[in-house]
Amino acid sequence: MTESPERSCAASPFSPVEQKVFDARVEKLAANYPPDKRAAALIPVLHAAQKLRGWLSPQTLAYVAGVVGVPPTRVQEVATFYSMFRLKPAGRHHVAVCGNLSCWLAGADKLHEHLQKRLGTRPFEPTADGLFSHAEVECLASCGTAPAVLVDERYYEGLSVEKLDAILDKLASEPAAAQPA
């Protein structure tokens, strides 16, 4: 499933070290799919790329298209459909607040307003220190335990402003080495 020159003319967006990590992840993913069904690995490969870079640049999207053997427009369609993919640079910790009806009725609007005030940024805009970014997203599939927030890859449910502040305070106090890349 690794890139071959005939499948993609897009240059790799990764540094040499990142490229080795990406290639290893892609090879591990490839074991889960038949060779003739590599396109099915698109979402996991996008996750692998985003985990390395923090977001998916147009160059990264084009490169992933070659890796999985699909047209770049297909990668763009998938990346823009799912709110878990970030198409703009984000903070080290990205806070996604569910904006669907159940969460909104349970107070997600207050969480989102609080985040904007506390962080002092617009959606997807990293804070000055690069530590946080935030956005309102569509359903996080947690209606029964609303309001829900996704921080990086971890769900938090039944949140209040105070509980959200505690999560942010804990993340802010972690040494950079302990924080996910």
Euclidean distance between CA atoms 176 and 34, whole angstroms: 39
The answer, yes or no, to whether residue 179 has pLDDT greater than 60, is no
Q: pLDDT, tens digit, for every residue of 8-58?
A: 568 999 999 999 999 999 999 989 999 889 899 999 999 999 999 889 999
SS3 content of the chain, % helix, strand, coil (to 5): 50, 10, 40
Query: In the structure, what pLDDT confidence band is assigned to residue 178 with cuts at 50, 70 and 90?
Result: low
Across the chain, what does the average pLDDT equal?
89
Give SS3 for 158: coil
Query: In the structure, what pLDDT confidence band is assigned to residue 2 with cuts at 50, 70 and 90?
Result: very low
All domains of the chain, ordered by start, with CATH?
A: 16-81 (1.10.10.1590), 93-178 (3.40.30.10)
Name the percent of the chain lying above pLDDT 90: 72
Euclidean distance between CA atoms 142 and 101, whole angstroms: 11
Euclidean distance between CA atoms 40 and 154, whole angstroms: 24
Q: pLDDT, tens digit, for every residue of 82-103?
A: 878 889 888 999 999 999 999 9
The answer, yes or no, to whether residue 123 has pLDDT greater than 90, is no
pLDDT confidence of residue 82:
85
Under 8 Å between Cβ of 27 and 2: yes
Euclidean distance between CA atoms 76 and 78, whole angstroms: 5
The CA R_g of the chain, rounded to the nearest whole Å, is 18
What contacts 69, CB < 8 A, 6 or more positions away? 7, 38, 39
Q: How far is CA 51 from the centre of its chain?
A: 7
Euclidean distance between CA atoms 21 and 2, whole angstroms: 12
- Determine phi and psi for 130, rounding to 5 degrees: 75, 5
